[in-house]
Amino acid sequence: MKDLILQNDNLPRLDLNLTPKAQTVLNAAIKIFLTHGFNGATTDMIQRSAGVSKSTVYAHFSNKERLFLAVVQSECASFTKSIHSIEFTPGNLTESLRKLAHAYLDVALSDSALALYRVVIAEAPRFPALGHIFYNTGPHVVKTIVGKSFQKALDANEIDLNGADVNEVAEVFVAMLRSELHLQRLTHPDKPLKKSVIDHWVEIAISSFMRSYATDNK
């Protein structure tokens, strides 16, 4: 797991402190790429959607690949923003986990996140840097946030990981949350998940975690 992160050291991370014109281009690119995929999208389509000239597009993004990378980086940053705001509350581990779980699934199961996931998975074999940036600015960030929450719970003696690595436990918890729900949404785009189904799955994941690690159960 840790080796995956090291692969990102020399990737072309882009500066997304954009001018208003560049942001307009990026917003159009997000819409076009997530609708048509990488191969189906063209700079002409992005230019028309943004209402700018092709020279303006290339003035801010040198080629289609860099524009695509900017889309992935921007969307992942947007997706993880809400999760950053979730704070661990000492003495109420279950509720903290519940808030974190729902914030994460609200993002992971959204139409825009699923669209991005489909595009990235389709292009990653041909464009590995894209997959690396997606992983390290999206899923890895989420697992890091969860790991920090678990570390706070560990420091407060609310959990006992029995010597397990806190970040690996976080990875397992996030995977347990996502697993079946994410697969269902990917394979059944015509059948949105009911809130009751998501709520039930969250409680199963939290219950499993608490039984394994909560000090109250030791």
Please give the Cα distance from 57 to 3 (Å, whole number): 36
Q: Regarding predicted confidence, which is higher, 20 or 4?
A: 20
For residue range 83-131, list pLDDT tens digits in order: 887 777 778 889 989 999 999 999 999 999 999 999 999 988 988 888 8
**pLDDT tops 70 at residue 171:** yes
Apex 190 CA angle, 186 and 191, nearest 5? 85
pLDDT at site 16: 65
Q: Is-contact 38 124, C-beta < 8 A?
A: no
pLDDT in tens, 39-95: 899 999 999 999 999 899 998 888 888 888 889 888 888 888 878 877 777 788 899
Give the confidence band of 195 by pLDDT, cuts at 50, 70, 90: very high
DSSP assignment of 170-196, as one string?
Answer: HHHHHHHHHHHHHHHHHH-TTSPPPHH
pLDDT bucket at 1, cuts 50 / 70 / 90: very low
Three-class secondary structure of residue 214 per DSSP: strand
Q: How confident is the model at residue 197 (pLDDT cuts 50, 70, 90)?
A: very high
Apex 31 CA angle, 30 and 34, nearest 5: 75
| HSE-CB for 79 with a 13 A CA cutoff | 29
- pLDDT value, residue 12: 53
Q: Check residues 11 and 31 and name the one with the higher pLDDT.
A: 31
Interval 193-207 mean pLDDT = 96
Instruction: Identify the CA nearest to 147 among candidates 173, 121, 177, 124.
Output: 173
User: Which region holds residue 51: left if phi is over 0, alpha if psi is between -120 and 50, else beta?
Assistant: left
127-142 average pLDDT score: 87
Share of the chain above pLDDT 90, in %: 60
Question: What is d(CA 24, CA 134) in angstroms, rounded to the nearest whole number?
Answer: 22
All residues at 6 or more sequence positions from 36 whose CB lies less than 8 Å from its CB, including other chains: 45
Distance of alpha carbon 218 from alpha carbon 212, whole angstroms: 9
| Among 73, 65, 13, CA closest to 39 | 65
Reported as a pLDDT band with limits 50, 70 and 90, residue 25 is: very high
Torsion of CA 55, 58, 60, 61, to 10 degrees: 160
What's the confidence (pLDDT) of residue 35? 92
Q: Kindly state the average pLDDT of the residues 190-198.
A: 94
CA separation for the pair 62, 96 (Å, rounded): 43
CA 199 to chain centre: 20
Whole-angstrom distance between the N-terminal and C-terminal Cα of the chain? 29
Domains of the chain with bracketed CATH: 70-217 (1.10.357.10)
